[in-house]
Amino acid sequence: MANVVVVGAQWGDEGKGKIVDWLCERADVVARFQGGHNAGHTLVIDGKVYKLHALPSGVVRGGKLSVIGNGVVLDPWHLLSEIETIRGQGVEITPETLMIAENTPLILPFHGELDRAREGQNSLARIGTTGRGIGPAYEDKVGRRVIRVADLGDRATLETRIDRALVHHNALRAGLGLAAVDRDALLRDLMAIAPEVLRFAAPVWKVLHEKRRAGKRILFEGAQGALLDVDFGTYPFVTSSNVIAGQAATGTGLGPGAVDYVLGIVKAYTTRVGEGPFPTELHDQDGQRLGERGHEFGTTTGRKRRCGWFDAVLVRQTCVTSGVNGIALTKLDVLDGFDTLRICTGYDLDGQVLDHLPTASDAQARCVPIYEDMPGWSESTEGARSWADLPAAAIKYVRRVEELIGCPVALLSTSPEREDTILVTDPYAD
């Protein structure tokens, strides 16, 4: 039975929430494998809008086990608040429907304070983070001083972990002009929240192994996008975790053999939130039109997204680094009404033509897109559910995207509604 990894193949915000929700019907387990509550997945189900950040998208669908894997960093207070919000929308979440890996690192209040202090005090180091502590929490994980979910179960262990973390963080805070962390208050707060968090804790690697052996289908849900990957993204303007598909195995405790199909989510144009290079960014009326028609505001931050033409160079590159088998092309309807559409097919770097994005950040900033123009279409594609519903020019656009990125379209999304999806290849086909 197929186990599918869903990854964003651009800079995030590609519409992963809807696609994951669409695939949930075929899956038994939905597992988050990286990122934190800086992620934002919007689901529209029967006209009701759900905005998820830490929770896997499967929680809003009955009969599914949702899992937060060890590759995630988790703010426990935010998690419980999000659970209450979703419950208020009529979705019950219990330890039978949600599991958190016992070795999941925790985001603590001082992580967010450090994140915001760094971003605000040094313009040269500004990355465009959400300020929610994700980066500092990953730093503590690598530095072997993070507090993990299992540590909440023993006060003595928790005190030792806190003391180790504060030796590092209080020194940093002094340098940034921040007051030392109130150690006793932090301990009290963690002990108070511990029972609520621990009721969801489980050896996720073992549970997923047993589910797989029983023939259950696992959907691995990624956050952000491959161009924000800490190794393969537009460094240093990246997130603090590995976003590409290989992280699905590491971030849940299953081996790479557990992955059968990688689905890359790709917008029919390109957007980015925050700082960093963006070769096809538009600063004209076309860019404004894309943003308005696509409602391009971040689910998590509310920040306006930068918009540009489709960059086939970048998507071709991310399809390679994530081993993408097929893409889900989203927001095709946003392109309705454009007389001419442009696709970036290469870069001009100081007179040299490149077929990939260079690694050096200064070279990335100098890349000038080389465009191929295609005719647009005046008809509406919104809500289309079959190829027959699409204008001929729209089909030609999709086929040209496939050619340029070297990867087939498996799904085509024409609105935020779950049912407005054209299935070309079922990732869960046996």
d(CA 104, CA 102): 6
For the chain, how many residues are written? 430
CB 96 within 8 A of CB 29: no
Is the alpha carbon torsion for 375, 379, 380, 381 positive or negative?
negative
Per-position DSSP letters for 91-154, written without gaps between them? ----TTTEEEETTPBBP-HHHHHHHHHHHHH-GGG-----SSSHHHHHHHHHTT---BGGGGG-
d(CA 399, CA 384): 17
The neighbouring-strand residues paired with 7 are 264
Q: Catalytic residue among 13, 115, 151, 311, which?
A: 13
41 is annotated as an active-site residue: yes
Closest CA to 411 of 3, 15, 51: 15
Residue 247: helix, strand or coil by DSSP?
A: helix
Which pair of tokens denotes residue 335?
């392109």
Burial of 400 (0-12, 13-18, 19+ CB in 10 A): middle
Return all residues near 119 (Cβ < 8 A) that are at least 6 apart.
125, 126, 127, 128, 129, 131
Q: Catalytic residue among 21, 28, 37, 41, which?
A: 41
CB 82 within 8 A of CB 54: yes
Active site members: 13, 41
